[in-house]
Amino acid sequence: MVKIKHIMITAGGTAEAIDGVRKISNTSTGSLAACIYEALAEYIAEGLGASGKREPEFIVHYVVSETAVMPEENVNLPIKFYIVTDVESVESVLEKLLADYKIDYIIHSMAVSDFTKGYLIEQEELICELAETLEKALNDNEKSLSEEQLKEYIGNVLKNPKRILNASSKVSSKAELML
């Protein structure tokens, strides 16, 4: 009985919606993964020799973005394509493949977008969160201001950023501007 070895290859780049109109995308072409598949197919073909049979059999599960370069299927290395668009679809396909097959080899060359939508926070909530963080930081450095002083300072920074955060009051030398 021939044992089938499963190879998973990921290729291309994904895109993540920022809102209903805009996206952040990674424009990876998937060329590297296509070259890897073709090299594997050639390697397997060379290993067939005169018998024309090989053990173990291989199959490639090719997880690819819709805009990526697609390799041409080689008879020596069967391939199944799984088209994905964003991180959620990649995750869904990978979970299904890992549940359905014993994946023996993974070649991950996909450029997955790493954008995640943020969340909104009330101004007062943010001020309290920043105050707690700064209080801890100041205490760690053996300097301390009252929580009320920190809240007032941070509140002023958030309400009037131009007045508080200007170059002359925050930067002590021109060299710091390069940071």
Q: What is the pLDDT along the chain (179 residues), one digit of tens a residue?
A: 668 899 999 999 998 888 788 888 888 999 999 999 999 999 888 876 555 566 668 999 999 999 999 999 998 899 999 999 998 999 999 999 999 999 999 999 999 876 666 555 566 777 777 777 777 767 766 676 677 776 776 776 566 544 333 444 444 444 433 32
User: Which is the CATH superfamily of the domain at 4-108?
Assistant: CoaB-like (3.40.50.10300)
Structure token digits, residue 53: 């049979």
Sign for the CA dihedral angle at 73, 76, 82, 88 comes to negative
| Sequence-separated (6 or more) residues with CB below 8 Å from residue 77 | 37, 40, 41, 44, 58, 59, 60
Q: Where in the chain is the domain with CATH 3.40.50.10300?
A: 4-108
